[in-house]
Amino acid sequence: MDMLQGMNDALNYIEENLDSTIDLDEVANRAFCSKYHFKRLFTLLSGITISEYIRRRRLTLAALELKDSQVKVIDIAMKYGYQSPDAFTRAFQNCHGVTPSLSRKPQQNLKAYPRMTFQLTIQGGSEMKYRIVEKDAFKVIGVKYEVEMVNGILSPTYENMIAGISDTKMGELESLSNKEPYGIVHVSVNYSESSDEKATFNQYIGAVTTQDEINEYSTLEVPALTWAIFEVEGDWLQVEKHWQRIYSEWLPTSSYELTEGPEILASKDQKNEIWISIKKK
């Protein structure tokens, strides 16, 4: 429950400072985690980056204030952190579909993004099979993609990443697997969020192996970490649902928190495991 309270305290701070500078270090402090982990956790729980959430909230309030015809557009732009009317107009139009001036017309439709809160939801007593493992460093060899995420949309898409690996190469990668987690592994690492509301990370699709590096593939060295490992039955849709349950149900009520490290999905013989790196609270 401490995690949920911390996340909501962070959202309260953001809400109180939408018309001033928002210090993401202070946001993370209120959530009792590092800035890196707060950004990652927020995106996993909400589906958008923290920068995008702040932008949407500011533009929601700006739209409401524009209904007052006595208030100048430039004053509202400056109030919500835009250094020029042009920058404000572009952001406002991307969000609401109309310019700030047109938004003042009666009957004009606009978008509103209410503030978020995080809650723990108990759903149906559905069990989650997991184990906690301390694991030495290991190596992943595979195909590396540099991925950009804007508003929850990946470039390249995951489907394109998979399609870019031939069946022959996928079989070759699977044959390299000789160490846990076994099978084909999908590893997300080096997540970061830039000031222009974009998130980036590296995606590796390959295998955990003790074999030497192979020139045509990339190598990722994973340090020694403690892992929470979850068994997942079913198709990719069930895997996605399980990711959400881990972060919204298991993590808030456990005695662990995230630590900096990769996120791994391992698939072998139609069985899946989700690996997240953790540490004791």
Question: Strand 218-222 vs strand 138-150: parallel, antiparallel, or unpaired?
Answer: antiparallel
* Nearest partner of 128 among 47, 231, 56, judged by Cα: 231
* Nearest partner of 260 among 208, 188, 210, judged by Cα: 188
Distance from first CA to last CA of the chain, Å, rounded?
A: 12
Number of H helices, E strands in the chain: 10, 9
Residues 6+ apart with CB under 8 A from 36: 191, 192, 260
Number of residues assigned to the chain: 281
Per-residue pLDDT for 151 more than 50?
yes
Spatial separation of the C-alpha atoms in residues 242 and 106, rounded to whole Å: 45
User: H or E segment at 149?
Assistant: strand 138-150
Residues 189, 152, 28, 81, Cα dihedral to 10°:
130
Residue 220: Cβ within 10 Å count? 19
Q: What is the mean pLDDT of residues 59-81?
A: 91
Domains in the chain, please, with CATH?
2-104 (1.10.10.60), 130-280 (3.20.80.10)
For the chain, the average pLDDT equals 88
> What is the pTM for the complete model shown?
0.72
pLDDT tens for 163-180 read 999 999 999 999 999 999
pLDDT tens for 165-221 read 999 999 999 999 999 999 999 999 998 877 566 788 999 999 999 999 898 999 999
Per-residue pLDDT for 10 more than 90?
yes
Confidence at residue 1, expressed as pLDDT on a 0 to 100 scale: 46
Chain-centroid distance, C-alpha 126 = 24
Spatial separation of the C-alpha atoms in residues 41 and 99, rounded to whole Å: 33
User: H or E segment at 14?
Assistant: helix 2-16
Spatial separation of the C-alpha atoms in residues 264 and 256, rounded to whole Å: 18
